[in-house]
Amino acid sequence: MKRFVVGNWKMNGSIQQIHEFNQLSPRHNVISVICPPACFIPLFNPQHIHVGAQNCHHQLSGAYTGEVSAEQLKALGCTYVILGHSERRAQFTESSELVNHKASQAIQAGLIPIICVGETETERRESRFKHVLSSQLDISLSGINLEQCVIAYEPVWSIGTGLVPTTEQITEVIELIRNLKGKTTKVLYGGSVNNKNIKTIVDIPALDGVLVGGASLSLQSFQEIINAFQGE
């Protein structure tokens, strides 16, 4: 089974960095994906790495100034698109309903959506996280063929904070997702993954891979994370 290492560059990165990333060594057991800002997508060498977007619009085309459609991303060479990242849910008030519309556009365009779900610190502390995750999953994935997408569990409290849930906590959520959505659902973990803590995360047997933010901006740390999944 191949596992995923997906880098989310957010609104970071430069053309110089892309030239460096085009030297990345692919590993045969790992599906490596970088999701840069959309304008940089065509600059990656698809022989070294898959490319994904960080968002797409929920309509096919039209008068939506500043937006990019799933079809246009596909035409640029994208294979994946991250949808429903907590930063988009919080900063751009994206609802699970909207994420659901985006996911169907993405699939129709031939992209594989990576759909993010995750609870806040308060929701976990108040033991409401299972309810929150179930609701995000139900609405975001309504009518979506689970074989055509990937789920990323990203607790909001772990993103950019250095806090990583325990193996037990991650495993509990993977089981919740698979109980709700089926045993073959692909589940990634994201939140403060780096080249130092990756060894522990790789050892979670039920996990299909990781979604990496900050540590995906350095070729060395991203390559070390990929190598950890290869067993090096």
Alpha-helix residue ranges (DSSP H) falling in 58-114: 70-75, 86-91, 96-108
In the complex, minimum distance from the CB of residue 147 to ligand PGA, in angstroms, rounded to a whole number: 23
Tokens representing 169? 């906590």
Q: Does 13 bind ligand PGA (CB under 6 A)?
A: no
**In the complex with ligand PGA, which residue's Cβ is closer, 84 or 213?**
213
Sign of the alpha-carbon dihedral angle for 58, 148, 82, 138 = positive
Cβ atoms < 10 Å from Cβ of 225: 25
**Which one of residues 3, 4, 5, 8 is an interface residue with ligand PGA (CB under 6 A)?**
8
Are 48 and 26 in contact by the 8 Å Cβ rule? The answer is: yes
Give buried/exposed letters for 85-102 (b at 16+ CB in 10 A, else e): bbbbbeeeebebebbbbb
In the complex, minimum distance from the CB of residue 86 to ligand PGA, in angstroms, rounded to a whole number: 7
Residue type, 166: T
Give the burial class of 47: count Cβ atoms within 10 A of its Cβ; 0-12 exposed, 13-18 middle, 19 or more buried: exposed
Q: H or E segment at 172?
A: helix 167-181
20 is catalytic: no
87 is catalytic: no
In the complex, minimum distance from the CB of residue 60 to ligand PGA, in angstroms, rounded to a whole number: 27
CA triplet 34, 228, 215: central angle to 5 degrees? 45
**Which one of residues 154, 157, 187, 226 is an interface residue with ligand PGA (CB under 6 A)?**
154
Residue type, 80: Y
Binding-residue pattern over the window 110 to 149 for ligand PGA, x denoting contact by CB under 6 A: ----------------------------------------
**In the complex with ligand PGA, which residue's Cβ is closer, 71 or 83?**
83
In the complex, minimum distance from the CB of residue 11 to ligand PGA, in angstroms, rounded to a whole number: 12
Q: Does 54 bind ligand PGA (CB under 6 A)?
A: no
End-to-end CA distance of the chain: 16
In the complex, minimum distance from the CB of residue 167 to ligand PGA, in angstroms, rounded to a whole number: 17
As beta bridge partners, residue 188 has: 152, 209
Q: By CB under 6 A, how many residues form the interface with ligand PGA?
A: 13
Site for ligand PGA in 175-214 (CB under 6 A): 190-193, 211-214
**In the complex with ligand PGA, which residue's Cβ is closer, 59 or 218?**
218
Q: Does 217 bind ligand PGA (CB under 6 A)?
A: no
**Active-site residue (options: 71, 85, 119, 123):** 85
Sites of contact with ligand PGA (CB under 6 A): 8, 154, 159-160, 190-193, 211-215
Show which residues are catalytic: 85, 154
